[in-house]
Amino acid sequence: MKIDIQDHMLVPKHEIMTEEEISDEFSEVDYDIKDLPKIKSTDPVVKTIGAEPGNVLRITRESQTAGVFVTYRIVED
Amino acid sequence: MDDIEMKVMETITQLNEEENLDIDFPESYIDDLSKAYVGKDLSDDELKELIRKLKQAYDRAHVEAGEAVGTVAAQSVGEPGTQMTMRTFHYAGVTELNVTLGLPRLIEIVDARKDIATPTMDIYFDEERRNDEEFVRTLANQIGKSTINDILKDFNLNYGTMEVEAVLDSKKIEEKRLDREEINAVIEKTFKKSIINGDELIISSAKSDKSESKFEIRELRLLADKVRDLQISGIKGIGKVIIRKDDKEWIIHTEGSNLKEILDMDGIDHVRTTTNNIHEIGEVLGIEAARQSIINEAQNTLSEQGLSVDVRHIMLVADIMTSEGHVKSIGRHGISGEKSSVLARAAFEETGKHLLNASIRGEVDDLTGIIENIIIGQPIPLGTGSVGVKMDYKKE
């Protein structure tokens, strides 16, 4: 039986962002999206959701301090 | 609760518009505000005042731009670290499992060790089977390592015929819920010259000629050890298992860890089953899970010693350790060894090596960091030093 690792309590929600969402989110920041924290294309979650190198993932963590925290990672080779 | 949260959100939007407050609270604040609104039975005006006061406190708590958060985190983890026990082992709770705790464990975590001293797993079961003792015990024996030695009734070395004679204990096999056929298959596969007759085993050395010599006695003893240590069940990497009943359900703790294979097994809770091996979590569940695991492990290690460190410091460490997509250590093989500035690296460890290599490659130091600027005696880019003044040429 193949299990879905995204169900695991340690794994936060990963979503692939569309071009539109990326430009909405990052147009007014003074860093390049290439400087975002990285996630490997071989990462098991990246493989499960089928993200490609260059994609930006929106990661919604459950945070002990903020309740919900949204962060981003860029998929790299 | 949703209606109240909506009410709180609306009040915040209203305040933002009326008083230009620019409030953007995290979700946990909205939660707390809603609870206070209901619990303390606040009027709308009181809620507004509470939000204003909270906004002030929130702004005060914010980290200023240019603050040395990394240094503060290092101090905040380092100081309690000096009070930790140097004792490596201790019995964790009710189980008789050895787990590395205290300072050695904390060092393991921040060093991102691949081979940790005591890997261990907590295995939970899915809803239907978490109270099924029979199922749990069967699975525990499938997971845990069993050797022939565990199911022996009688064991003899026959020096006359140069054979190992063993009698298996059917009761023990049944107790451990092992499959007789499988055991026989393993024995036959490992020992070419074996005769299985019900419970009785006769195994002789694979080397055929039985010429009398002193070496053969030694060989027979080695063979006997091999027979005893033959693994007949268990998952790779896992040793002893301990079955424990919690208030509500059965849990298995293991010595050794193999997250991938355990998660693939039937009847396992795929949500809560974890290991304490951070690299393994990174491989099986991804970098984000590894980050969360670093935080959990570090926090548990500290709180077990009665020390409380703000999670934010640990989160910062975990963020940095996982920022490149794989788990990196703090220290010379990880973060500190990868700094772009030669002087900063040389000031940390292996001074000669870094200076020599930099001179061979013709490296350039932009002097953008703190350490480099301290070395050459310039103001450092920290706090008020992180901003500069630029002249506006167009202004008359």
Q: Where are the domains of chain B?
A: 2-61, 146-233, 339-386
Domain total for chain A?
A: 1
Order of strands across the sheet with B120-123?
B238-245, B250-256, B120-123, B274-275
B355 neighbors B306 (Cβ within 8 angstroms): no
What are the E-state strand segments in B257-354? 274-275
Predicted confidence at residue B92, as pLDDT, reads 52
Predicted confidence at residue A14, as pLDDT, reads 93
Average pLDDT over residues B285-310: 91
Predicted confidence at residue B320, as pLDDT, reads 93
B295 neighbors B318 (Cβ within 8 angstroms): yes
Q: Is A37 helix (H, G, I), strand (E, B) or coil?
A: coil
Query: Minimal CA–CA distance to B286: which of A8, A41, A44?
Result: A44
User: A57 φ, ψ to 5°?
Assistant: -100, 135
Which of B272, B288, B311 is facing A12, going by the closest CB pair? B288
Q: The tokens of B303 are what?
A: 């709180």
Predicted confidence at residue B91, as pLDDT, reads 52
Of all residues in chain B, the one with the smallest CA distance to A4 is: B270
B315 neighbors B288 (Cβ within 8 angstroms): no
A 10 A CB-CB count for B238 gives 22
pLDDT at B377 over 90: yes
Provide ipTM, 2 decimals. Answer: 0.94
Query: Minimal CA–CA distance to B243: which of B133, B81, B119?
Result: B133
pLDDT confidence of B386, banded at 50, 70, 90? confident
C-alpha distances in Å from residue B288, one per residue of B117, B322, B327, B333: 23, 8, 10, 21
For B57-83, the pLDDT digits (tens) are: 999 988 888 899 999 999 999 888 888
- Whole-number Å distance between alpha carbons of B349 and B358: 14
For B264-297, the pLDDT digits (tens) are: 888 888 889 999 999 999 999 999 999 999 999 9
Predicted confidence at residue B207, as pLDDT, reads 62
- Best mutation target among B1, B122, B287, B326 (most A Cβ atoms within 10 Å) is B287
pLDDT at B122 over 80: yes
Predicted confidence at residue B355, as pLDDT, reads 92
User: How much of chain B, in percent, has pLDDT values that exceed 90?
Assistant: 19
Query: Minimal CA–CA distance to A54: which of A30, A31, A25, A32?
Result: A32
A contacts of B285 (beta carbons < 8 Å): 5, 8, 10-11, 44-45
Predicted confidence at residue A16, as pLDDT, reads 93
Average pLDDT over residues B347-361: 91
pLDDT at A57 over 90: yes
pLDDT at B211 over 60: no
For B14-45, the pLDDT digits (tens) are: 888 888 778 888 888 888 888 888 888 888 88
Segments forming the whole domain that contains residue A33: 5-76
- Whole-number Å distance between alpha carbons of A23 and A20: 5
B150 neighbors B176 (Cβ within 8 angstroms): yes
Query: Minimal CA–CA distance to B121: which of B231, B232, B268?
Result: B268
Among A5-19, B5-19, B204-218, B334-348, the least confident range: B204-218
Longest Cα separation, chain A: 46
Specify the higher pLDDT residue, B205 or B259. B259
pLDDT confidence of B210, banded at 50, 70, 90? low
pLDDT at B215 over 70: no
Helix H or strand E encompassing A23 = helix A19-26
Most confident of A3-7, A10-14, B99-103: A10-14
pLDDT at A19 over 60: yes
Average pLDDT over residues B319-323: 93
Distance of CA B363 to the CA centre of its chain: 37
Among A54-63, B106-115, B175-184, B334-343, the least confident range: B175-184
Which of A11, A39, A67 is facing B28, going by the closest CB pair? A67
- Whole-number Å distance between alpha carbons of B193 and B87: 48
- For the purposes of burial, counting CB atoms within 10 Å of the CB of B332, is it exposed (0-12), middle (13-18) or buried (19 or more)? middle
Which of A14, A40, A67 is facing B325, going by the closest CB pair? A40
Specify the higher pLDDT residue, A35 or B229. A35
We report the CATH number of the domain holding residue A17 as: 3.90.940.20
Q: How far B65 CA sits from the closest chain A CA (Å)?
A: 14
User: B233 φ, ψ to 5°?
Assistant: -160, 170
User: Domain B339-386: which topology?
Assistant: DNA polymerase; domain 1 (1.10.150)
A contacts of B269 (beta carbons < 8 Å): none
Specify the higher pLDDT residue, B273 or B5. B273
- Whole-number Å distance between alpha carbons of B220 and B376: 71
pLDDT at A30 over 60: yes
Q: For residues B290-328, b (16+ Cβ closer than 10 Å) or e, as one string?
A: bbbbbbbbbbebbeebebebeebbbbbbbebbbbbbbbb
Q: Which residue has the tokens 């930099």?
A: B358
